[in-house]
């Protein structure tokens, strides 16, 4: 839900910043006016002027009087034709100018002017707040509504009467000339004097930030106007030209820099609030470099008014307008976003490894100094994600440009397929924000599909010849749209489609070599996310299986916990002792008898405090000391008195962390000094465990008394000794149950495989998955060994290789399931390095039943990057027939390779079945 809200906020922010950017780029230019005689009204505006003339004549106005408003050449503003209508009876003038926006395409821009007898002017402007926001003491202004000129005239007259008496001479020719040019100039001068405007480096007047915000607020409050009837093609062409001029109007650098700085500040603030300042900074750097790639490419390819913006919690965007449509440039512009970030990401990852290998980078990532590696992964993730052909990501833009030029319907099909398939995969992977972004692109497919027939007609239309005037060519485009799709009253969507059609007609298609270069670069970049996706699918499948095992384990644990809560403490301790004996953990027989009450009392006297009641209760139960490995009463003491208990070794940054099963949300951190004051009940130094009891009043933690320190796992805290006993009972009970299940399953699997041939055993052996082979190539099954190599190995070793081993190596020169090495790695034990031989001697002296390997040949072992770390399988030609093959782990002896393989497969299956149970 947060992602969706962030997306909505980002889209809203983008729209607001674009509006503010357009307003800050607006130019206030004093425009000299000159009166004209008879004029020929442009076709796009003739019907509007005729309709206005009928309404105004009915209200007593006479005219029109035409004025042409020029503009400085560097202002980017067009020459305008204004019509003035005057009413000598009311002293009002109505000024009409062409529509400048798709919001009101079928209505001329208008404003009413009345001069008062004190020299002030009242200006009422329907639906446009300019008169209101530029008003001062001499030129009053208001924004009005009204369905027609009659309603607007009434609102204007009523307001002017409240301001003062009318000067009926304010409609003569001199007044019209003054209103046409000097009125506008007076308002600009007033704004400049009041500090609303500033001069840019070109000398043009532009609004300051506060004034621009005021204009935007006034625009939102202004009355809205309803569209009237369909918009004719000639007027659409007029409005398209107006929009093009506005689009190409230069944006001051200070505006671009200011908006970028504002968006960055919002991005960092929102990121620090929701995530973390460090994460927000990393994301900003990654996104900034990505968007900088787009920015520089746009500037290099001649795009105009290029602007970078950061979108809080979402990402970034770079906007601009291409001057010369070119498919190859569009594709390279899209690629130049992710390409630098991917290169930087791999470079940072290589630097973070620093020659340490995979283990090194994993340690580096979890360390406090892992900023470099974290940044590298963010670089790679975000930029590889952008390479995917999913709208609106960069990869989708590249694919669309690679499609045949002039094929909008093919583009529409790609858009639908990419959005549906990509959006579904995004939901499946948990990227809901990306799925929403893809769904928002679907409406574009409909417009592109309908654009197909329009473009087909336009490419065959002789009226679109290049020698035709741009205005006539643009009008013809909208005429074809009306013929295919019908007239429209919504100018904005039709203008957007017309602009896209114009770009499609003008775009320069890719040449074959350009298409090849773009395709190759994109394929290389796309290979990264494709490989990651394949690996991700495999990992998700593995995780699904692991999740099922976890759910089964949790259900079993809940059942065992319920059973434990229903047993008496004495029964739990008796069962615990039996479980340990069944698992061949023999307790000390001296601890089988319960502790004497007098001995417990003596221990309390020696400690200076009576032992807690639950401690005395546990000690007096038969077998409790043996089941829990408790210290005898005469050895009970504080943890500080145990010389072999290194509490500082358990600490990290001066504290030891515990988790409490009954308090899962509570973080417990104690110092070694605090723990040294606790009562030491048990200390199994060989297992790296210690059991402490807090007998103080009050305790270190209000709800906890028992602390189990574990050097190989997480340390645990309990509310009382019974909870600790229940956990031990559950752990040993489940282990015993698993051992029983494993033994039964192993017996069944041995029986099933008893008569299996070598071929059947090879087919039954567990093969590594594709993902395992990619991550660990040494797990892959190699090809067969050449018979000559087998013979050469026999000659080198001085013994004929047994037929069963020859049969296996005739299929695989080395067999990973049994850790068998290639023939070239076989060597006599006497030729192994001194360290490995010492390891074997130590193992032989420390493990009962471990075979003598002195006269054997090592044929299997653990090898990492061509280095032998541990031998595992030996061929002993001089041993009795039943032990020619000998291993360093169970089974120790086997007569043939089939027996070794049969036992290995049986144990693997039994282990898998035991886990399922």
Residue 28 CA to chain centroid, in angstroms? 44
Burial (CB count <10 Å: 0-12, 13-18, 19+), residue 216: middle
What is the residue-wise DSSP string for 566-610? TS-HHHHHHHHHHHHHHTT----GGGSSPPPHHHHHHHHHHHTSP
- 29: tokens are 């230019």
pLDDT of 621 above 60: yes
Residue-level pLDDT at 589:
45
Higher pLDDT, residue 542 or 806? 806
Helical segments of 102-164, H only: 130-133, 149-163
Q: Are 379 and 528 in contact (CB under 8 A)?
A: no
Residue-level pLDDT at 407:
72
Q: Which of 156-170, 233-247, 398-412, 659-673 has the lowest mean pLDDT?
A: 398-412
Q: Is the pTM of this model over 0.85?
A: no
Distances (CA, A) of 262 to 267, 269, 310, 528, 733: 9, 11, 9, 34, 63
How long a stretch of residues is the chain? Answer: 917
Mean pLDDT, residues 837-866 taken together: 79
Higher pLDDT, residue 164 or 104? 164
Q: Which of 149-153, 268-272, 390-394, 753-757 has the lowest mean pLDDT?
A: 268-272
Q: Which of 51-65, 138-152, 591-605 has the lowest mean pLDDT?
A: 591-605
Return the closest-CA partner of residue 693 out of 675, 712, 678, 674: 678
* Percent of the chain at pLDDT exceeding 70: 89
768-771 CB contacts, 8 Å cutoff, 24+ apart:
768/816, 769/538, 770/534, 770/538, 771/535, 771/538, 771/539, 771/542
Instruction: Work out the pLDDT band at 617, boundaries 50, 70, 90.
Output: very high
Helical segments of 770-823, H only: 770-775, 787-797, 803-809
pLDDT of 196 above 80: yes
Q: Are 29 and 72 in contact (CB under 8 A)?
A: yes
- 915: tokens are 């886990």
Residue 34 CA to chain centroid, in angstroms? 60
Cis peptide leading into 647, omega within 30 of 0? no
Residue 404 CA to chain centroid, in angstroms? 32
Residue-level pLDDT at 645:
85
- 530: tokens are 């494709």
Residue-level pLDDT at 3:
57
Q: Which residues contact 660 (CB under 8 A, 6 or more apart)?
A: 666, 668, 703, 704, 716, 717, 718, 719
Cis peptide leading into 392, omega within 30 of 0? yes
Higher pLDDT, residue 183 or 889? 183
* Percent of the chain at pLDDT exceeding 90: 26
Instruction: Work out the pLDDT band at 800, boundaries 50, 70, 90.
Output: very high
Higher pLDDT, residue 539 or 451? 451
Q: What is the distance in angstroms between the CA of the first residue and the CA of the last residue of the chain? A: 39
pLDDT of 456 above 70: yes
Q: Are 643 and 654 in contact (CB under 8 A)?
A: no
Q: Which residues contact 906 (CB under 8 A, 6 or more apart)?
A: 746, 749, 750, 752, 753
Give pLDDT tens digits for 347-401: 887 776 654 444 444 444 444 345 677 788 888 888 888 888 888 888 888 888 8
- Interatomic CA distance for residues 62 and 263, integer angstroms: 52
Residue-level pLDDT at 110:
92
Instruction: Please count the other Cβ atoms lying within 10 Å of the Cβ belonging to residue 741.
Output: 16
- Interatomic CA distance for residues 316 and 277, integer angstroms: 18
Q: Which of 298-307, 363-372, 465-474, 884-893 has the lowest mean pLDDT?
A: 363-372
Q: Which residues contact 815 (CB under 8 A, 6 or more apart)?
A: 781, 808
Give pLDDT tens digits for 46-72: 999 999 999 999 999 998 999 998 877
Return the closest-CA partner of residue 17 out of 318, 268, 297: 318
Give exposure, 399-438, as e/b (b: 16+ Cβ within 10 Å).
Answer: bbbbeeebbbbebbebbbebbeebbebbeeeebbbbbbbb
Q: Are 309 and 263 in contact (CB under 8 A)?
A: yes
The secondary structure element, H or E, covering residue 559 is helix 512-565
Evaluate the CA torsion angle 833, 836, 839, 841 in order and state its sign.
negative
Q: Are 820 and 810 in contact (CB under 8 A)?
A: no
Residue-level pLDDT at 917:
42
Distances (CA, A) of 45 to 48, 62, 238: 5, 19, 9
Give pLDDT tens digits for 201-249: 888 888 988 898 898 888 888 888 776 789 999 988 888 888 887 777 7
Q: Are 639 and 680 in contact (CB under 8 A)?
A: yes
The secondary structure element, H or E, covering residue 901 is helix 897-916
Give pLDDT tens digits for 702-746: 889 999 998 766 899 999 999 999 999 998 888 888 888 888 998
In 704-856, where do the E strands start and end?
A: 706-710, 715-718, 827-828
Instruction: Please count the other Cβ atoms lying within 10 Å of the Cβ belonging to residue 106.
Output: 19
């Amino acid at each position: 839900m947060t992602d969706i809200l962030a997306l909505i906020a980002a889209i809203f922010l983008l729209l607001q910043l674009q509006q503010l950017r357009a307003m800050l780029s607006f130019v206030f230019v004093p425009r000299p006016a000159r009166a004209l005689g008879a004029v020929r009204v442009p076709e796009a505006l003739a019907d509007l002027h005729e309709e206005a003339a009928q309404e105004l004549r009915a209200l007593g106005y006479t005219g029109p009087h035409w004025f042409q408003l020029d503009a400085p050449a560097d202002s980017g503003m067009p020459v305008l034709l204004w019509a003035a209508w005057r009413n000598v009876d009311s002293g009002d003038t109505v000024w009409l100018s062409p529509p400048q926006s798709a919001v009101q395409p079928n209505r001329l821009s208008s404003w009413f002017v009345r001069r008062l007898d004190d020299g002030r002017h009242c200006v009422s402007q329907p639906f446009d707040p300019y008169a209101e926001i530029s008003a001062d003491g001499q030129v009053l202004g208001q924004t009005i509504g009204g369905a027609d000129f009659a309603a607007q005239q009434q609102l204007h007259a009523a307001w002017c009467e409240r301001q003062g008496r009318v000067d009926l001479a304010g409609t003569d020719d001199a007044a019209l000339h003054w209103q046409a040019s000097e009125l506008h100039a007076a308002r600009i001068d007033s704004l400049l004097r009041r500090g609303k405007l500033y001069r840019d480096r070109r000398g043009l007047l532009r609004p300051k930030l506060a004034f621009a915000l005021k204009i935007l607020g006034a625009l939102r409050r202004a009355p809205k106007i309803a569209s009237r009837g369909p918009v004719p093609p000639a007027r659409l062409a007029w409005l398209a030209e107006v929009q093009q001029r506005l689009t190409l109007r230069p944006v001051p650098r200070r505006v671009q820099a200011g908006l970028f700085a504002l968006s960055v500040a919002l991005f960092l603030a929102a990121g620090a609030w929701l995530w973390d300042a460090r994460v927000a900074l990393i994301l900003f750097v990654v996104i900034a470099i990505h968007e900088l790639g787009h920015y520089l490419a746009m500037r290099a390819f001649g795009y105009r008014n290029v602007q970078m913006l950061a979108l809080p919690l979402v990402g970034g965007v770079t906007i601009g307008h291409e001057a010369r449509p070119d498919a190859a440039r569009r594709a390279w512009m899209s690629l130049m976003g992710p390409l630098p970030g991917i290169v930087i990401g791999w470079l940072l990852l290589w630097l973070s490894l620093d020659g340490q290998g995979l283990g090194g980078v994993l340690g580096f990532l979890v360390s406090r100094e892992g900023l470099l590696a974290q940044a590298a992964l963010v670089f790679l993730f975000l930029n590889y994600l952008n390479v995917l052909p999913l709208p609106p990501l960069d990869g989708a833009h590249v694919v669309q440009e690679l499609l045949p030029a002039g094929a909008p319907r093919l583009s529409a099909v790609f858009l639908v397929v990419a959005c549906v398939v990509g959006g579904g995969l995004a939901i499946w992977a948990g990227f809901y924000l990306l799925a929403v972004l893809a769904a928002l692109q679907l409406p574009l497919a409909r417009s592109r599909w309908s654009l197909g027939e329009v473009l087909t007609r336009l490419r065959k239309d002789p009226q679109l010849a290049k020698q035709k005037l741009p205005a006539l060519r643009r009008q013809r485009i909208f005429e074809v749209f009306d013929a295919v799709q019908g007239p429209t009253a919504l100018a904005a969507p039709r203008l957007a489609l017309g602009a896209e059609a114009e770009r499609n007609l003008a775009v320069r298609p890719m040449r074959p070599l350009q298409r090849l270069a773009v395709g190759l670069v994109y394929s290389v970049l796309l290979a990264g996310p494709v490989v990651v996706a394949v690996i991700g699918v495999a990992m998700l499948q593995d995780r699904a299986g692991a999740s099922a095992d976890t759910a089964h384990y949790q259900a079993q644990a809940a059942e065992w916990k319920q059973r434990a809560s229903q047993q008496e403490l004495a029964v739990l301790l008796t069962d615990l002792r039996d479980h340990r004996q069944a698992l061949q953990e023999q307790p000390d027989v001296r601890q089988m008898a319960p502790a004497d009450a007098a001995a417990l009392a003596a221990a309390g006297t020696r400690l200076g405090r009576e032992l807690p009641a639950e401690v005395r209760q546990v000690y007096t139960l038969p077998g409790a000391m043996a089941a829990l490995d408790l210290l005898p009463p005469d050895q009970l003491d504080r943890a500080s008195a145990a010389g072999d208990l290194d509490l500082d070794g358990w600490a990290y940054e001066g504290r030891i962390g515990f988790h409490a099963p009954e308090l899962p949300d509570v973080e417990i951190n104690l110092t070694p000094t605090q723990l040294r004051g606790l009562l030491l009940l048990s200390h199994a130094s060989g297992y790296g465990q210690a059991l402490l009891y807090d007998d103080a009043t009050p305790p270190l933690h209000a709800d906890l008394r028992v602390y189990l320190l574990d050097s190989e796992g997480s340390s645990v805290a309990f509310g009382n000794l019974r909870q600790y006993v229940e956990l031990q009972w559950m752990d040993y009970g489940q282990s015993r149950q698993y051992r029983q299940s494993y033994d039964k399953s192993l017996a069944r699997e041995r029986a099933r495989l008893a008569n299996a041939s070598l071929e059947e055993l090879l087919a039954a052996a567990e093969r590594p998955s594709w993902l395992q082979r990619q991550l660990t190539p040494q797990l892959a099954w190699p090809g067969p060994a050449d018979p000559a190599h087998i013979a050469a190995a026999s000659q080198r070793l001085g013994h004929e290789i047994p037929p069963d081993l020859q049969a296996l190596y005739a299929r695989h020169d080395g067999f990973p399931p049994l850790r068998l090495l290639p023939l070239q790695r076989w060597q006599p034990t006497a030729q192994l390095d001194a360290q490995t031989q010492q390891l074997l001697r130590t193992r032989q002296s420390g493990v009962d039943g471990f075979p003598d390997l002195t006269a054997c040949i090592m044929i299997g072992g653990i090898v990492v990057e061509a280095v032998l770390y541990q031998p595992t399988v030996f061929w002993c030609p001089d041993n009795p027939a039943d032990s020619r093959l000998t291993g360093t782990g169970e089974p120790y002896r086997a007569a043939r390779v089939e027996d070794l393989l049969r036992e290995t497969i049986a144990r693997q299956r039994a282990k898998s079945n035991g886990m399922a149970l």
